Structure formats: structure tokens, C-alpha cells
Amino acid sequence: MNNKKKIFLVGCGNVGSRHLQGLVTLSNYYPIEINVIEPNPMAREIAINRIGLIQRNNLNLKLSWLGQLDNINEESDLTIVATLATGRIQLLDSLLKKGHRKFIIEKMVCQSVKEYDFLLELFEKHHAKGWVNCVCRSFEFYQKIKNKLPSSTSIILNVTSGNLGLGSNAIHYLDLFSYFIGKEGYNLKIIGNHLYPALLTNRRENKLVEFAGSIIAQAGANHYCLLTFSAEKKNSAVIFLQTDHIRFMVDEWSTKAYWAGETNQWKWEDTEFRYQHISELVTSYAVDIFETDECVLSSIEQSYITHKELFHVFNTHYQVITGIPIDLCPIT
């Protein structure tokens, strides 16, 4: 691992700075050049403070801060896009034209089916690859669960949470549901008839909104996922997975999880769960992309139907609440 790798990070706010924390540790394995595009001085200061906490090989690291996308005139080995979903298609179009071909893209990828269709056309035209940063499938705990699931089993996934933002975070757990199911999980049908009867504030931008309530997803004839997010209080997501052979329950804000199954006569037993942050995970994503041209994350092609279904559910509910039809789903 001695070939120099060039990375572009576009957007270095709260999430982007966590990406940067992980990216600088790549200098322990490769000579690394990281170019960060972030025009906000306050965001830069926070990011600099955060990477100051991270051990890295400074002799192998070149870190540059750029103000605008126009300053990107070189190709990269990996480009991470951590901006808001608003206007992202134009951003990705510009990056593709500049020669960038490998992307990790924050969810939501964009804000409409029309935008997503255009994005897929662009990636095919430029022979590019993209993965969506839905991290749950990367967690060691969930990967162990996946390995315990018979391929023929029926899966029911139930996720309950406080006010963590259903619009922003439903995609994470629907992607986890798809991961557990396998190929069939990338063709979900989602029902959103039980959403909270008001729009909630989105902390990321005033023009965006959030949702609460319940949505139900079905894949195939016997796989179901129920997501219920409260509108009242922010608290942990609790995940309950049930099959014919095994059950798991996880509280993501704690280090505890529980399981029961046929092998222990369905008696609940303690086990350990560790929430893995993007500052840890992005390092392995980058190495896999550099070395194998693959990544554990869902590809933009695999994530298409889930985005399409969520756009329909949330846009329909937005129109019910406001009386205003919309084309762009106001979430990020």
C-alpha cells in the first residue's frame, strides 16, 4: 500500500467533518492527498479541531482546503459528497465532467425520481460508480446477524425511535432491511398512511422539513418492515428483528443487545452491540474501493427503488398537509 491516493471531500459540515476524521487515518497506510471543499470558515474550524483529535501519519498526509467547486480541476481516486441533497445533481454532474469516477454519496442521494433517473444516466455515461452512505449494514453486529439468517426465512423488522427525523433516517433502516433480505430487498413497496399530521422542523435548513409517524415496507410475499418515529422526544432507535429461527433486539444508544432462538430454546440472552460511526467506517470503505473497486455500501442502483418509494410517501403527505403539490422532496 504505497501508491499515493487522492481524495476529494465536498462539504465539511457536521457529517463531512466526521468523514474527514476517518480519511486522515488513511495516511497510516497510504500517502494521501485530501482536498476539502468547504466555503464556511466556521465549519472549517470545527473540522480542523476534530481531526486534531485523530492520530495520523502527517508525513504521508497532504490536506488542502478549497472554497469552491471550481477549484477542483483534477481527477480523484475517491470523491465523497457530504452536502445537503438540495442541488446535489448539478454538483455531481460537474464532478463527473471533471473526471471523478468513484463516489460515496450521503443520503438522501437527491430529492426526486426525475433527479435520480438523470443521475443514473450520468453515471452510466461516464462509467462511474457510486455508493450511498447508509451505514447500518456495515456494523459488525448486523453483519453477524445477517450470517445467522437462513436464506429462505421470513423477516420482520420493527424499528421504533424518538424524534430523530423519519425523513432523514428511514433510508438507513430500510437499507438494513434490504441487506438482511438480500437481492429481493431492493424492490420494496412502502405505505405511508400513518404519518404524523403536521410537518416538523428540519435542523439542517429552514426550507427543508421532517416527518414522524409510521411507514410500512414490504418486500416479496413475507418480508415486512415497520418504522415508527415519535414527534415528541429525541431518543434511541430500538430495532427488533424476528424470523422463524431467531430474534434480536438492539438499543442503538446503548451497548446492549438481546437474542433468542431455536438453539437456546427461545430464552433471551444478553450480547454486546457497538454503534460504529462514519469516522471509523469510512476508512474501510475507502480501502475497499482503492483495492477492490467495491464497497459494502449499497450502490446507487440498488438504492433507487427505496428512494423512489420514500419520495412518493413523503411528497404525498406534504401535499395532504399543505395543499401544495411538490416535485422535490424537502428532505436531506
The string of pLDDT tens digits covering residues 230-244 is 998 888 899 999 999
Spatial separation of the C-alpha atoms in residues 223 and 203, rounded to whole Å: 33
- Asked if the model's pLDDT at residue 123 lies above 80, the reply is yes
Residues 6+ apart with CB under 8 A from 48: none
Q: Which fold has domain 136-276+310-319?
A: Dihydrodipicolinate Reductase; domain 2 (3.30.360)
C-alpha cell at 254: 446503548
End-to-end distance of the chain based on CA atoms, in angstroms? Answer: 36
Residue 203: which pLDDT band, with cuts at 50, 70 and 90? confident
pLDDT in tens, 68-122: 877 677 789 999 999 999 999 999 999 999 999 999 999 999 999 999 999 999 9
Spatial separation of the C-alpha atoms in residues 86 and 329, rounded to whole Å: 9
Highest average pLDDT, of 6-20, 49-63, 198-212, comes from 6-20
More confident residue, 60 or 203: 60
- The owner of cell 451505514 is 135
pLDDT at residue 71, as a whole number = 65
Q: What is the 3-state secondary structure (H, E, C) of 190-259?
A: EEEEEECCCCEECCCCCCCEECCEEEEEEECCCEEEEEEECCCCCCCCEEEEECCCEEEEEECCCCEEEE
pLDDT at residue 184, as a whole number = 79
Average of per-residue pLDDT values in the chain: 94
Global pTM?
A: 0.95
SS3 state at 270? strand
pLDDT at residue 150, as a whole number = 80
Spatial separation of the C-alpha atoms in residues 242 and 271, rounded to whole Å: 16
Spatial separation of the C-alpha atoms in residues 88 and 106, rounded to whole Å: 10
Q: Do the two domains 5-133+279-299 and 136-276+310-319 of this chain adopt the same fold?
A: no
Burial of 154 (0-12, 13-18, 19+ CB in 10 A): middle
Spatial separation of the C-alpha atoms in residues 82 and 38, rounded to whole Å: 10
pLDDT in tens, 20-36: 999 999 999 899 999 99
Q: Cα 23 vs. chain centroid, distance in angstroms?
A: 17
* DSSP codes of every residue in 103-116: EEEPSS--S-HHHH
- Where are the domains positioned within the chain? 5-133+279-299, 136-276+310-319
Residues 6+ apart with CB under 8 A from 20: 9, 12, 34, 36, 47, 50, 51
- Amino acid letter, residue 258: Y
- The owner of cell 416538523 is 200
| Order of strands across the sheet that contains 129-132 | 61-66, 32-37, 5-10, 78-81, 102-105, 129-132, 298-299
pLDDT in tens, 292-315: 999 999 999 999 999 999 999 999
pLDDT in tens, 167-183: 999 999 999 999 999 88
SS3 state at 62? strand
Q: 5-133+279-299 in CATH: which number?
A: 3.40.50.720
Burial of 146 (0-12, 13-18, 19+ CB in 10 A): middle
pLDDT at residue 198, as a whole number = 96
pLDDT at residue 93, as a whole number = 96
pLDDT at residue 152, as a whole number = 74
C-alpha cell at 150: 437462513
